[in-house]
Structure 1
Amino acid sequence: MLGPFVNGASVVIGSLTGASLGNRISENLRTKMPLVFGISSMGLGIAMIVKVKYLPAVILALLVGTMIGELMHLETGIQKVAAKTKGFIEKFAKPADASLTQDQFLEKFVAILVLFCASGTGIFGAMNEGMTGDTTLLMVKSFLDLFTAAIFATALGYTVATLAIPQFVIQASLFLLATKILPLTTPAMVADFSACGGLIMVATGFRIAGIKPFSVANMLPALFLAMPISALWLRFFVR
């Protein structure tokens, strides 16, 4: 299990580097790079969406999953945990950008949490390594996360490094469960799962780029519904 460790290390290294440099990184770079990260997330999302097999099933999963997330106030819960983590970290180190408001911090923190922990590249990379031993996808993601963490840590500080923990837990779990999950799936189910994740990645890209503040964390339950709904759609609606 190499990929999850490398990906987690890239987040920690990038975060520590960015937080330590802080304002010494040019304002132009700190302003422009999140736009690149945003469009990269959208591009990855679009590449995943085009794999869709049963679009109605994907849309249904996204709608129902988002409603569940909204009713659970999932994003609010994540923000509360993020705020507590920020407070704990700041007991030992000041944030790189002290002018950042609490709302601005939480807005950016939730967006990169989804990017690091719930991206299709990470999910499929971990599952693929578990099945085949191929670490390619997670290595590619590690390079992207290294620079993303560094840039965002210039504003959010050392708190960004804590995202390596949920990221590793998710990827390691998928790695270990891959041999049990994938045999139960069909290519159509995997394609629709990918498409659902792609839609969330596009929404994440809009949020990171500051175009539209989608509540991306509330959309995450859709990922758990995408495969079952895809299977049910094939059984009852496809002739």
Structure 2
Amino acid sequence: MSGLGTLINALAIIAGGIVGICCKKLIKERYQETIMKATGFSVMFLGAGGTFSKMLVTTKSGLPLDTTGSMTIVLSMVIGAFAGEIIDLDHQFERFGSWLKHKTGSDGDNQFINGFVTASLTVSIGAMGIMGAIQDGIYGDHTTLVAKAILDFVIVLIMASSMGKGCIFSFIPVAAWQGLITALAVVLSGYMTAPVLNSLSMVGNILIFCVGVNLVWPKTIKVANLLPALIVAVLMA
């Protein structure tokens, strides 16, 4: 059944958030801060590792490794940042988070919006979700999204233990984004070539690295305003 992988992914995020909130009551506040920074550094290394895995290539020149895609990264990030600042996607995310905060009766939760935005960007960005959604739509293969669901369960659990129930609602952008790609998978399949996926992975993992920076040093980068970089990376590829 097409879309089952995204459904499993969304349910895993909800479950991880609920478990994280239950754990929050058992963890002292000073522990939560340390856990948050540890999560941030982990996310940074995951992003950096994903980027380098696509940038570093073997060569025949005698050197063990060479780099590729540097210009794609620079142009995608710069043009994407410019477009993102014009649209101000970061503000749109916060507006939606504020609306959710009010609708869920969480007006007294000062961490709700930050938790929602940070968790949403962490679990929504990346080529794994895009590739998995395409496989789900075309072949009915849920394997990649099930693996992503397990990762997202752990990530959201840890984030929710520090930032609260706003993290649970990150399932909404994940379901919307991956569901849309699954629905359009037949149309997009011809464009998802190896260069396109490599570009998406490189730039997407840089954005994941930026999310990790914000976990360690809050509100350093407006990551949502960098999301158009993904579109620029695809167009360049």
TM-score, length-scaled by structure 1: 0.80
Over residues 115-141 of structure 1, what are the superposed CA-to-partner deviations in whole Å (9 max), with x where a residue is unaligned?
Answer: 122233222222233344443332222
Is 1:120 the equivalent of 2:127?
yes
Tell me which residue corresponds to 2:25.
23
Tell me which residue corresponds to 1:78.
93
Over residues 56-80 of structure 1, what are the superposed CA-to-partner deviations in whole Å (9 max), with x where a residue is unaligned?
Answer: 1232111111111111121012112
Q: Which amino acid aligns with 1:182?
A: S
Over residues 87-116 of structure 1, what are the superposed CA-to-partner deviations in whole Å (9 max), with x where a residue is unaligned?
Answer: 22226x964xxxxx4xx5544432211012
| Farther-moved stretch of structure 1 (2-11 vs 209-218) | 209-218
Q: What is the distance in 1 between the residues matched to 2:134 and 2:45?
A: 21
Q: Which amino acid aligns with 2:39?
A: F
What's the CA shift for 1:28? Answer: 5.7
Closer, same or farther in 2 for the Cα pair 1:190/1:154, shift >3 Å? closer
Contact 1:89 1:159 in 2 (8 A): no
Tell me which residue corresponds to 2:7.
5
* Match of residue 138, structure 1, among 136, 145, 150: 145
Give the paired residue count.
222
Tell me which residue corresponds to 2:64.
none
Q: What is the distance in 2 between the residues matched to 1:205 and 1:35?
A: 9
Is 1:87 the equivalent of 2:89?
no
SS where residue 184 of structure 2 aligns?
Answer: helix
Q: What is the distance in 2 between the residues matched to 1:134 and 1:7?
A: 14
* Match of residue 147, structure 1, among 148, 154, 158: 154
Tell me which residue corresponds to 1:233.
none
SS where residue 24 of structure 1 aligns?
Answer: coil
Closer, same or farther in 2 for the Cα pair 1:41/1:216, shift >3 Å? same
Is 1:55 the equivalent of 2:55?
no
TM-score, length-scaled by structure 2: 0.81
Tell me which residue corresponds to 2:177.
170
What's the CA shift for 1:36? Answer: 3.8
What's the CA shift for 1:43? Answer: 3.0
Contact 1:58 1:193 in 2 (8 A): no
RMSD: 2.5
Closer, same or farther in 2 for the Cα pair 1:46/1:182, shift >3 Å? farther
Question: Which runs of 5 or more structure 2 residues have no equivalent in the other structure?
Answer: 56-67
Q: What is the distance in 2 between the residues matched to 1:59 and 1:196?
A: 9
Closer, same or farther in 2 for the Cα pair 1:45/1:8, shift >3 Å? same
SS where residue 210 of structure 2 aligns?
Answer: helix
Tell me which residue corresponds to 1:188.
195
Q: What is the distance in 2 between the residues matched to 1:83 and 1:187?
A: 39
What's the CA shift for 1:184? Answer: 2.2
Q: What is the distance in 1 between the residues matched to 2:36 and 2:128?
A: 19
* Amino-acid identity (%): 25
Q: Which amino acid aligns with 1:70?
A: E
What's the CA shift for 1:142? Answer: 1.5
Q: What is the distance in 2 between the residues matched to 1:136 and 1:34?
A: 29
Q: What is the distance in 1 between the residues matched to 2:128 and 2:33?
A: 25
Q: Which amino acid aligns with 2:24?
A: G
Q: Which amino acid aligns with 1:219?
A: L
Question: Which runs of 5 or more structure 1 residues have no equivalent in the other structure?
Answer: 96-100, 231-239
Is 1:227 the equivalent of 2:229?
no
Closer, same or farther in 2 for the Cα pair 1:132/1:35, shift >3 Å? farther
